[in-house]
Amino acid sequence: DLFGPIARKLAANGLVTPKARIIVEKPIGKDGASAAAINDELGAVFSERRIFRIDHYLGKETVQNLMALRFANALFEPVWNSAHIDHVQITVAETIGVEKRADYYESAGALRDMVQNHMLQLLCLVAMEPPSAFAADALRDEKLKVLKALLPITDANASALTVRGQYRAGAVNGEAVPGYLEEIGKKSSSTETFVAIKAGVANWRFAGVPFYLRTGKRLPQRVSDIEVAFRPVPHAIFDGGSNTIPANRLVIRLQPDEGIKLWLMIKEPGPGGMRLQHVPLDMSFAETFTGHVPEAYERLVMDVIRGNQSLFMRRDEVEAAWRWIDPIREAWTRSGEPPRPYIAGTWGPAAAIALVERDGRTWNEDLAA
């Protein structure tokens, strides 16, 4: 690991001045113990307010707009709880394989590479309580509370709450692609390229609301989004009853086309009675804002220059995330079960679909099958 040696060399060569700041990017460790060791080494050279642990997902405009939606609009926060929200889905899908990162990916896998950082940060922004101010420590204090409230996944429930997979040869966007083993040049591997998890948050606001997370490589689309699925109306006055009326959904698209959709029930125009249709109020960032929208890294590097840590992870956040992730990894190792195969160009193993269908739900229907 180079974090510590680089920090020490910077100090030895007189480059650590009172105004110096250091940016570090994941993976910060491979487990809780190694993450703590890295943080100790960095902390021996730089104070915490000079360490910027970057997660580029937090620099995306739609991620920041999730906070604006929740805390700058009276519409959402009163219904942002288990009484009104049925479940939450977070999808981070990639069409690419491991490409030139085979050595790194073989030692990391999707759980460490994506879930421990990007996906848990997104979950925190959905589930956290309103901070006292839009300030670095106020935001990070609330995210830390969510990480500490995550229901543990251990040997006893890992098989029921998690699915891991590994892609085989298939086709993505009409082009034939090799399987993971062919890409890394091995006959076997226990490294997962796909993960689906049913997570829970043990707090007053979201107790009983499942958070379904899925991420993987060689999936049909490159897309990242958050779906907040609301509960159906308690009593339907229109024909067919409440079970036939789709519930409202809020979909925050992080990439590739950043935007926000709120799905509502609207009467179809014309005669013929009260025929309802499920339609989106669609706000596309590209259409709404015509000026230059900075890329995530542009925004975050500017925040480093300004000394603003609001969108950067604090040490205790990183280590709390690992405390939740480590038992999942350990449970998988002890089970001895290999990752489930899935064909490149599909949405992962069939078990990932079953993970949500067992609860009477489906993955985001906006994504093509």
Catalytic residue among 56, 118, 278, 292: 118
ω into 256 cis (within 30 of 0) = yes
Please list the residues that pair with 163 across neighbouring strands. Answer: 196
Residues contacting residue 13 through CB under 8 Å, at least 6 positions apart: none
56 is catalytic: no
In SS3 terms, 253-315 reads as EEECCCEEEEEEEEECCCCCCCCEEEEEEEEEHHHHCCCCCCCHHHHHHHHHHHCCCCCCECH
CB 340 within 8 A of CB 332: no
Three-class DSSP category at 297: helix
Q: Is residue 236 a contact partner of residue 225, using CB atoms and an 8 Å limit?
A: no
Here the tokens at position 198 are 């049913």
CB neighbours of residue 150 within 10 Å? 22
Q: What positions carry a catalytic annotation?
A: 118
